[in-house]
Amino acid sequence: MAEISKIDELTLIARSLAMDDTRAFGRLVDATREPLRRFLFNLTAGDASLADDLAQNTYIKAWTNLSSFRATSRFRTWLTSIAVNEFYSWMRSERTYEAIADDTADTLADTSSDHAHFTDTRIDAASAISRLSPVDRSLVLLFYMEDMPLRKICRMTGLTESNVKTRLHRARARMAQYLSSE
Amino acid sequence: MKKETLSDKQLSRLLKHDLPPAPQSHWFTRKVLNRLPGRTPSPIERIAYAIGILVSVSHAVWSVVEVMRTGVFTVGMLAGVIAASVIIMAIVCNIIGIRLARVDDAADYPGVYADAQPRS
């Protein structure tokens, strides 16, 4: 999907808000869905169906709260913060998550074998990140993949800055250890 | 991939380039659009609509009472009744129009309906 400029983005948001224009919102979804789905796919450690459910809920929340969007950030950044909240809410509602998370590396390996375009490096990266706890995984993805500043991550996750830094340091070491053993 | 340590830059590059994308879902956007709830008017809109309808209906009733009392129907009264009708119609059309526009937009989006199956 082609990226849209910030002006186009604001125009589409204004149309969605003022005229209840679902077609304009559809264009926003089209322009942002692949990065968001990729983020959630890796956040859920390769659970495509859960990732799509969370992504759909994210867009529905965005639609219903569109008037609270502040144009100081990009629409995608705002979506990512909603997606993280959705993921955390889902985690709180699922007691079995840790059990699922323990099994994720195998799941990812199986999933990737269904997709011929997955290279070995991709499987390595996906396996390495899936070995982290869900919270650490969200921090790593937000900081290293989404380039989100620490302050924003703290606001989003409710963790202190020192806690985020410690978790990121530990996660990086764990990933390095896994990748070096491969 | 063999690495003993990972710098911030390396990890960032690794995640940005090597993490797999989500499997393709051609029906994702239409599923989202299909689930969008209707937007309810804001409290300010509701108040504006209510005042508009109240004033228009009051004026229409007053005009009818005046005509019955005096037996005279002036051009001013006719204009007032027409204006009141137009305002009421505009408010109703605005509310219904939004709903109609949403249905049209959804129909324009290919396969937006929930039961639509992927074409083989």
- Determine, for residues B20 and A145 on separate chains, whether the beta-carbon distance falls below 8 Å: no
Task: Give the span between the Cα atoms of A11 and A42, in whole angstroms.
Answer: 31
Give the pLDDT mean for B1-10. Answer: 65
Q: Which residues of A touch B28 (CB under 8 A)?
A: 29, 33, 37, 52, 55-56
Domains of chain A: 6-181 (1.20.140.160)
Preferred mutation among A15, A20, A167 to probe B, highest tally of B CBs within 10 A: A20
Residue B20 lies in a domain: no
* Amino acid at the residue A10: L
Residue B9 lies in a domain: no
Q: Which two tokens stand for residue A73?
A: 């950030």
Output the pLDDT for position A112: 43
- Whether residue B2 has pLDDT greater than 80: no
Higher pLDDT, A137 or B57: A137
Nearest Cα residue in chain B from A37: B22
Output the pLDDT for position A108: 47
Confidence band for A28, pLDDT divided at 50, 70 and 90 = very high
Residues A48/A4, Cβ–Cβ less than 8 Å: no
Task: Give the span between the Cα atoms of A129 and A88, in whole angstroms.
Answer: 17
Residue B21 lies in a domain: no
Helices within chain A (DSSP H only): 6-19, 22-43, 48-64, 75-93, 97-102, 104-113, 120-130, 134-140, 150-157, 161-181
- Whether residue A160 has pLDDT greater than 80: yes
- Whether residue A115 has pLDDT greater than 50: no
CA dist A151 to A81, A147, A154, B1, B99, Å?
Answer: 13, 12, 5, 32, 41
Give the mean pLDDT of chain A: 85
| Residue pointed to by tokens 């990737």 | A112
Report the number of distinct structural domains present in chain B: 1
Question: CA of B109 to nearest chain A CA: how many angstroms apart?
Answer: 7
Nearest Cα residue in chain A from B109: A23
- Determine, for residues A26 and B31 on separate chains, whether the beta-carbon distance falls below 8 Å: no
Confidence band for B103, pLDDT divided at 50, 70 and 90 = low
Higher pLDDT, B2 or A179: A179
Task: Give the span between the Cα atoms of B112 and B75, in whole angstroms.
Answer: 51
Residue B19 lies in a domain: no
Task: Give the span between the Cα atoms of A170 and A165, in whole angstroms.
Answer: 9
B26 touches chain A (CB under 8 A): no
> With a cut of 0.90, is the ipTM above it?
no
User: Residues A179, B2, B7, CA angle at the centre, nearest 5°?
Assistant: 70
Phi then psi for residue B72, to 5 deg, are: -115, 130
Output the pLDDT for position B46: 78
Residue B71 lies in a domain: yes
Nearest Cα residue in chain A from B18: A122
Q: Which residues of B touch A126 (CB under 8 A)?
A: 18-20
Task: Give the span between the Cα atoms of A128 and B11, in whole angstroms.
Answer: 11
Q: What contacts A1, CB < 8 A, 6 or more positions away?
A: A30, A31, A32, A33, A34
B93 touches chain A (CB under 8 A): no
Which domain range does residue B55 map to? 41-114
Of the partner residues B8, B11, B105, the one whose CB lies closest to the CB of residue A22: B105
- Whether residue B22 has pLDDT greater than 80: yes
Residue B66 lies in a domain: yes
Residue B35 lies in a domain: no
Task: Give the span between the Cα atoms of A71 and A12, in whole angstroms.
Answer: 12
Output the pLDDT for position B37: 87
Give the pLDDT mean for B33-57. Answer: 81
| Residue pointed to by tokens 């639609």 | A63
- Determine, for residues B1 and A42 on separate chains, whether the beta-carbon distance falls below 8 Å: no
Q: Which residues of B touch A147 (CB under 8 A)?
A: 12
3-state SS class at B28: helix
Output the pLDDT for position A21: 86
Residue B32 lies in a domain: no
Q: How far apart are the first and last CA of chain B?
A: 39
Confidence band for B73, pLDDT divided at 50, 70 and 90 = confident
Output the pLDDT for position A109: 45
Give the mean pLDDT of chain B: 75
